[in-house]
Amino acid sequence: MNAKTKLTAVDLFCGCGGLSLGLEQAGFVVKVGIELDPLAAQTYRVNHPGTVLIQSDIRRVAARRVKKACKLRSRGLSLLAGCPPCQGFSRIRRHSEDDPRNDLLFEFVRMTRVLRPKVVLLENVPGLVKDRRFSLFVARLESCGYLCKWDILNAADFGVPQRRKRLILIGSRVGSIDLPRRNCRRRTVRDCIGSLEEPGETKDRLHKMHLNCTARIEKLIRRIPVDGGSRVALGKRRQLDCHKKLDGFRDVYGRMKWDDVAPTLTGGCFNPSKGRFLHPEQNRPISMREAATIQTFPKSYRFPAKSGLVNIARLIGDALPPLFARRQAHHLATRLTCATH
């Protein structure tokens, strides 16, 4: 792609860089990223040295500062993308109308009004659609001249070996742009991590990182059937006391299944008490290399291992899978290239 057809992007709420990596893999040059969290920002800088990273609360970042940092010429910004913090809209947490993070959605609109990208791309949890802010957000984008389309897409339909449903919104001021359609077969847990050596046999620091369970929990894990088994198979007598009266959350202390996609990885993916995060056959929770691979981060992507298991799991689990981002971005790149010719 030559300089005349170069596609540019800004990544709001960039986290550790999953979205930016996908954009870059699709041919975009990510000019600026904005991120508040220090550890996520540190990880982003290491992996995206060519991007100007503004480490700050986005509410304190002037849109003109971002525009200046982009150093764009007459062609303008191709894409403004971002994943506003979604905890306030998550179905696995108690929804709070007063969560201050909910209103960060409108920072997206504020940046759009000044940067005037050709296209905007929003990613978030499906629960956002049911919040009153979403319809207001769309109305404000449309008032800025953007034709908006959105849907709930499953990352598993785009090559990510993980069941991960996300809201994807595309807003365009260069003509109507449909959302991408599923375009590949599903990849399984076996496809993804089946060839990895055991953590005790590796020099990979990230693969060595997994939760070391107590003897009591390890004994329980050994009794859970391999390849998709759950604690339900143990019967109530052998389950933990805290699980005996638990009607929901049946994936807790469950194993992944080799020939299926993985469950949605979260920031708690290191801990089997948070979901179906046990290895399909080895008697342990998944390692952080396995988590990163299921999220489609390449082995070359660097995470700060010294920050500890809990922090690494949060970075990985909170990220947008780069391959999912790449599929969306490639679709947009094709449409944008056509629109400029």
Respond yes or no: is residue 86 known to be catalytic. Answer: yes
Question: 10-47, pLDDT tens digit by residue?
Answer: 999 999 999 999 999 999 999 999 999 999 999 999 99
Residue matched to tokens 């306030």: 88
pLDDT at 235 over 80: no
Confidence of residue 86 (pLDDT cuts 50, 70, 90): low
Total residues found in the chain within this entry? 341
The residue that leads in pLDDT, 6 or 279, is: 279
With b meaning 16 or more CB within 10 Å and e meaning fewer, what string describes 19-54? bbbbbbbbbbebbbbbbbbebbbbbbeebbeebbbb
Nearest to 80 by CA among 149, 33, 42, 150: 33
d(CA 31, CA 325): 17
Q: Give the pLDDT score at 161.
A: 97
pLDDT at 303 over 60: yes
Residue matched to tokens 């986290």: 15
Summary mean pLDDT of the chain = 90
What CATH superfamily classification does 189-318 receive?
A: DNA Methylase, subunit A, domain 2 (3.90.120.10)
Domain 3-185+320-339 shares a fold with domain 189-318: no
pLDDT at 64 over 70: yes
Q: Which long-range contacts (CB under 8 A, 24 or more apart) does 173-177 make?
A: 173/116, 173/118, 173/119, 173/144, 173/145, 173/146, 173/147, 174/118, 174/119, 174/335, 174/336, 174/339, 175/147, 175/335, 175/339, 176/147, 176/149, 177/119, 177/147, 177/149, 177/332, 177/335
Q: Give the pLDDT score at 247.
A: 56
As a whole-number percent, the residues of the chain with pLDDT over 90 amount to: 80
What are the extents of the domains in the chain? Answer: 3-185+320-339, 189-318
Cα dihedral value 211, 216, 219, 221, nearest 10: -50
Q: Give the pLDDT score at 300.
A: 97
Confidence of residue 240 (pLDDT cuts 50, 70, 90): low
Q: Where does residue 264 fall: left (phi above 0), alpha (psi -120 to 50 degrees), or beta otherwise?
A: beta
Q: Where does residue 255 fall: left (phi above 0), alpha (psi -120 to 50 degrees), or beta otherwise?
A: beta
Sign (positive or negative) of CA dihedral 158, 160, 163, 165:
negative
Nearest to 318 by CA among 101, 7, 70, 144: 101
Single-letter code of the amino acid located at 322: P
With b meaning 16 or more CB within 10 Å and e meaning fewer, what string describes 310-329? ebbbbbbbbbbbbbbbbbbb
Largest Cα span, the chain: 70
Beta strands in the chain (DSSP E): 7-12, 28-35, 52-55, 79-82, 119-124, 147-154, 165-172
The one catalytic residue among 70, 86, 213, 269: 86
Residue 51 has φ and ψ, to the nearest 5°, of -100, 135
Tokens encoding 136 = 């207001």
Q: Give the pLDDT score at 337.
A: 86
pLDDT at 92 over 60: no
Q: Which stretch of 98-112, 229-243, 286-300 has the lowest confidence by average pLDDT?
A: 229-243
pLDDT at 1 over 60: no
Residue 213: count other Cβ atoms within 10 Å of its Cβ: 18
Average pLDDT over residues 181-208: 94
Q: Are 26 and 330 in contact (CB under 8 A)?
A: yes
Q: Give the pLDDT score at 252.
A: 86
pLDDT at 133 over 80: yes
Residues 3-185+320-339, CATH architecture: 3-Layer(aba) Sandwich (3.40)
Tokens encoding 109 = 């609109």
d(CA 246, CA 101): 30
Q: Give the pLDDT score at 233.
A: 76
- Which residues are registered as beta bridge partners of 150? 169
Question: 199-219, pLDDT tens digit by residue?
Answer: 999 999 999 999 999 999 999
Q: Give the pLDDT score at 152.
A: 97
The residue that leads in pLDDT, 198 or 232, is: 198
Task: Pinpoint the alpha helices (H) of 92-204.
Answer: 105-115, 132-143, 189-193
Average pLDDT over residues 182-207: 94
Average pLDDT over residues 273-281: 95
